[in-house]
């Protein structure tokens, strides 16, 4: 089909929740590159919003999906599933978690985390402890509960009244967090690095203080690592930068390399609160999704992709810093590993994103003054040099 035919079909039959999408339809991809229906080549510096960590058409991932699809795609969680058990084992052996539950998305994983924290205290005879504190500018998903947990009014207002009971406080303000904790608090839910609101980093001092507060108050620390986990920040898990461990953490996005899968991970003392019948999923942790997850984890751990994320991230930030020194409107370069935000003092982020697209580079924007960069973890110095050159050429126009 031609692009205009696809757009017309989309307008006629698909619910318009994405507004005016970028006018392109990709036909195939390889590595960091994508090709549209007309054969134009693009460099993907968004990775499907931090999903395609291995790039596109990675042979190990393709083979794992093909081999599993030829054997068994689905059988339901009424039966034991070998890839599911193996993937849970790999996640536990490489993290602070003791138990794992698989879902279909990051929002579902976060829903599971919310349910787990609440049911733990209910079963301990403390049903009054059900409130969860989150951070302003956070993003935890688009289900009713995860929208309520999200600290952004623009996502919440259309769906009020919201699911109770969530409080939000400013990022990196330990005193505000301390004052928000009350007898109803059961958990604090935090993205170690906020992604959707523009790559906002929590500080080491703050996060260690949060961990101490949780220990003092007998409440849980939940980390949403849906976007910042799995090698994105130069560590396998973002909490490794902080010298602390969460009681519960969630994963998704990169875990399936493009195939939908999420994971709820928890320490044994809290995971044991889930008993038969308390939680479930028809599709979550199916053989095909877990086969994809196994291929991603094997590649990430054994092919030094996390190390590459750390090294290329440092290189990328250094190169971008030269642009910040060159152009006054580049206010700040922030991030860790290959999770990078460029803060502008001019409201031109969307315009710059579109100009990059015209030049064959895919990037993200947050609002109209933040550029977001999330390339695959296989990115090279050559790829980065090309991206920085394109930005440099575009920035000269302002």
Active site residues: 139, 224, 253
Distance CA 319, CA 180 (A): 40
Three-state secondary structure of the chain: CCHHHHHHHHHHHCCCCCCCCCCCCEEEEEECEEEECCCCEEEECCHHHHCCCCCECCHHHHHHHHHHHHHCCCCCCCCCCHHHHHHHHHHHHCCCCCEEEEECCHHHHHHHHHHHHHHHHHHCCCCCCCEEEEECCCCCCCCHHHHHHCCCHHHHHHHCCCCCCEEEECCCCHHHHHHHCCCCEEEEEECCEECCCCCEECCHHHHHHHHHHHHHHCCEEEEECCCCCCCCCCCCCHHHHCCCCCCEEEECHHHHECECCEEEEECHHHHCCCCCCCCCCCCCCCHHHHHHHHHHHHHHHHCCHHHHHHHHHHHHHHHHHHHHHHCCCEEEEEEECCEEEEEECCCCHHHHHHHHHHCCEECEEECCCEEEECCCCCCCHHHHHHHHHHHHHHHCCC
Task: Give, to the nearest 10 degrees, the angle between helix 287-302 and helix 82-93.
Answer: 30
Put residue 258 in one of left, alpha, beta given phi > 0 → left and psi -120 to 50 → alpha: left
Q: Which residues have CB under 8 Å from 271's CB, separation 6+?
A: 98, 99, 116
């Amino acid at each position: 089909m031609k692009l205009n035919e696809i757009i017309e079909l989309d307008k006629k039959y698909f619910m318009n929740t994405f507004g005016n999408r970028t006018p392109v339809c990709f036909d195939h991809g390889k590595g960091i590159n994508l090709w549209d229906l007309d054969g134009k080549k693009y460099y993907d510096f968004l990775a499907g919003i931090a999903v395609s960590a291995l790039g596109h058409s990675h042979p190990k991932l393709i083979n794992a999906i093909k081999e599993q699809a030829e054997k068994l795609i689905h059988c339901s969680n009424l039966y034991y599933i070998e890839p599911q058990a193996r993937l849970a084992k790999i996640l536990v052996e490489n993290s602070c978690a003791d138990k794992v539950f698989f879902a279909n998305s990051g929002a579902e994983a976060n829903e599971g985390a919310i349910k787990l924290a609440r049911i733990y205290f209910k079963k301990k005879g403390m049903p009054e402890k059900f409130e969860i504190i989150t951070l302003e500018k956070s993003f935890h998903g688009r289900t009713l509960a995860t929208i309520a947990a999200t600290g952004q009014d623009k996502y919440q207002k259309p769906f009020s009244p919201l699911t109770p009971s969530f409080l939000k406080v400013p990022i990196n303000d330990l005193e505000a967090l301390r004052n928000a904790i009350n007898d109803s608090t059961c958990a604090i839910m935090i993205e170690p690095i906020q992604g959707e609101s523009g790559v906002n980093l929590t500080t080491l001092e703050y996060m260690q203080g949060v961990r101490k507060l949780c220990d003092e108050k007998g409440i849980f620390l939940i980390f949403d690592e849906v976007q910042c986990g799995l090698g994105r920040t130069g560590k396998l898990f973002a909490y490794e930068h902080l010298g602390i461990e969460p009681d519960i953490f969630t994963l998704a996005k990169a875990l399936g390399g493009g195939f939908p899968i999420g994971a709820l991970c928890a320490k044994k003392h809290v995971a044991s609160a889930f008993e038969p019948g308390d939680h479930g999923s028809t599709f979550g942790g199916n053989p095909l999704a877990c086969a994809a997850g196994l291929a991603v984890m094997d590649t990430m751990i054994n092919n030094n992709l996390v190390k590459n994320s750390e090294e290329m991230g440092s290189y990328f930030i250094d190169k971008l810093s030269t642009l910040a020194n060159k152009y006054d409107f580049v206010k700040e370069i922030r991030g860790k590993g290959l999770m990078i935000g460029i803060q502008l003092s001019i409201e031109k982020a969307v315009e710059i994103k579109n100009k990059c697209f015209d030049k064959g580079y895919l990037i993200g924007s947050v609002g109209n003054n933040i550029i977001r960069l999330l390339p695959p973890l296989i990115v090279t110095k050559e790829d980065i040099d090309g991206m920085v050159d394109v930005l440099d050429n575009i920035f000269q126009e302002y």
